[in-house]
Amino acid sequence: MYLLLIPVALLAVIVGVNVGWRWVFAPVLAYALLAWLYGSLRALTRPGYDQVDPGSTPEQVKEGERTLFWCEECGTEVLLLFRGTPRAPSHCGQRMHERTEILN
C-alpha cells in the first residue's frame, strides 16, 4: 500500500510542475471533504449513547413520585410523566435540573 505512494507522489509532482498545483491539491481536498461528509452522515445514522433504543418503551414515573425538570435561566418547569432516557432535557441552551419529590 505504501509502495503505491511513491509513484503517486512522483505523478503528483510531475502534474503539479507541468500543469499546475491546483490539479494536485483540488482532488486531495475533494477527497478530504467527501471523507468528512460521509463520516458525518454515517454518525447521524447510528443512535447516540443517550438516545432511546427503538425497541424499548419509555417507563412511566412511579406513583408517589413527582419528578420536575426546571430551567435555571428562565424558570420553566417540566413535569416528567414517562422516562425515555436518563439524560435531562435542555432549555435555554443548557441542561435542566432534576428535582424529584416523594409524595405522601
Rounded Cα–Cα distance for residues 68 and 91 (Å)? 13
Task: Examine residue 4 and tell whether it contacts Zn ion (CB under 5 A).
Answer: no
- Residue ranges in 12-71 that form contacts with Zn ion under rule CB under 5 A: 71
Which residue, 49, 55, 95, is CA-closest to 73? Answer: 95
Residues in the interface with Zn ion (CB under 5 A) total 6
The footprint of Zn ion on residues 77-96 (CB under 5 A) is 91-92
Residues whose CB is less than 8 angstroms from the CB of residue 65 and which lie 6 or more positions away in sequence, other chains included: 100, 101, 102, 103
**Residue 24 or 71 with smaller CB distance to Zn ion:** 71
Q: Quick one: which segment of 6-14, 17-25, 50-58, 76-84 binds Zn ion (CB under 5 A)?
A: 76-84
Q: Which is nearer to Zn ion, 60 or 76 (CB)?
A: 76
Of the residues 17, 73, 87, 97, which one makes contact with Zn ion according to CB under 5 A: 73
Rounded to whole angstroms, how far apart are CA atoms 97 and 72? 7
Rounded Cα–Cα distance for residues 52 and 12 (Å): 48
* List of residues contacting Zn ion (CB under 5 A): 71, 73-74, 76, 91-92
